[in-house]
Amino acid sequence: MSFRLEVLHTIWNWEGVTDSFPKLLALLEIYRSQRSISSNLTPSFAKNNLSQIDMIALSGAHTLGFSHCTRFANRLYSFSPSNPVDPTLNPTYAQQLMQECPQNVDPQ
């Protein structure tokens, strides 16, 4: 059995064609191990009387509190024709976000 795998690798800073089945297996192993993190963490948290919801909150907390303005600017400036600011946002918080993310600023 013979086959040729052609992949343009950009994520790992490789460029060009790869014919290496072992490299593919290594990449698949990395992907598989990353996907099994939650199944490994759940029992560890359970041993400490913490639920899966606790695990998700505590494991993901390092990403909370940070976002690029372009991800939510529409909720501050152009939510709808009658309500430029999303009415579900706390007004004080919306004002703080507007100070941090002025309208029409180049994201670069």
Binding-site positions for heme b = 62
Q: Residues within the annotated binding site?
A: 62-63
Say if CB 77 and CB 84 are below 8 A apart.
yes
DSSP state string for 51-81: -HHHHHHHHHGGGTT---GGGTHHHHH-S-S
Q: Residues within the annotated binding site for Ca(2+)?
A: 63
The Cβ-side half-sphere exposure at 53, using a 13 Å CA radius, reads 0
